[in-house]
Amino acid sequence: MSQSSVTPDQDRALALYRQHADNYDDSARRTMRMRQQTIEKLALRPGDRVLDVACGTGLSFPLLSDLVGPRGQVVGIDISPEMLDLARQRVAQTGMHNVQVLQSALDVAEIPGPLDAVLLNFTHDVMRSPAALQRIFAATRPAARVAIAGMKYLPWWLAPANFIVRAKARPYMTTFEGLEQPWNLALPYLDDFEWYSTFMGICYIGWARVKPIERW
């Protein structure tokens, strides 16, 4: 399936992350401060259970683990076995006993809830999957905190420069659909969504709380 697909392609995602797993941490270092800022929006507390969606190599695990403490839990889910091998190594090497790692596509994942918080950091394919979003938010408590970050298209008056966005995104996502507003499929689940642009407008950080299920 081509990169112009309007829906995420799990087979292509597996192939991409098999290719990029070994150098993923190096490539992600330039957005580490953005990752930290996104996690700060979760306002995590000791004892919280937080889901790290498409957790990759577990770069967020140390930050999340420290914030929820020994009484809390971090649940990391990813589709890529190669990325999760590295995530499990990170957990073992740092002795994070409050981290659980699961391999699954998010649209069929058995997510251990209830969740107090959800991190979606550079997870565009998941953000464009209604089935994945439904499953994620079905596992949350009412008013659970949500933080979202990723790439987005520049405003319409800068549209010719969006080739930069596509070039930078191509190794990490299988569809460009929805890059105008990557968060819009999640909005029915959320209250008081706010966001701002960063990285000269090609990235965003957003945050909200989950609506009670009867308001979806």
pLDDT band at 77 (very low <50, low <70, confident <90, very high): very high
Q: Is the pLDDT of residue 94 over 70?
A: yes
For residues 11-27, average pLDDT: 92
Where do the domains of the chain lie? 10-215
The pLDDT score that the predictor gives to residue 5 is 65
Q: What is the mean pLDDT of residues 100-123?
A: 97
Q: Report the distance separating Cα 36 and Cα 34, nearest Å.
A: 5
Q: State the pTM of this model.
A: 0.95
Q: Is the pLDDT confidence value at 47 over 70?
A: yes
Whether the per-residue pLDDT at 68 is higher than 50: the answer is yes
Rounded to an integer, the average pLDDT of 16-20 is 92
pLDDT, position 89: 97
Residue 3 has pLDDT above 70, yes or no: no
For 10-215, CATH number out of 3.40.50.970, 3.40.50.150, 1.10.3720.10, 3.90.1150.10 equals: 3.40.50.150
Mean pLDDT of the chain: 94
pLDDT higher at 24 or 1: 24
| pLDDT for the residue numbered 63 | 98
Q: How confident is the model at residue 156 (pLDDT cuts 50, 70, 90)?
A: confident
Tell me what pLDDT residue 59 has: 97
Mean pLDDT value of segment 38-64? 98
Predicted pLDDT at 213: 83
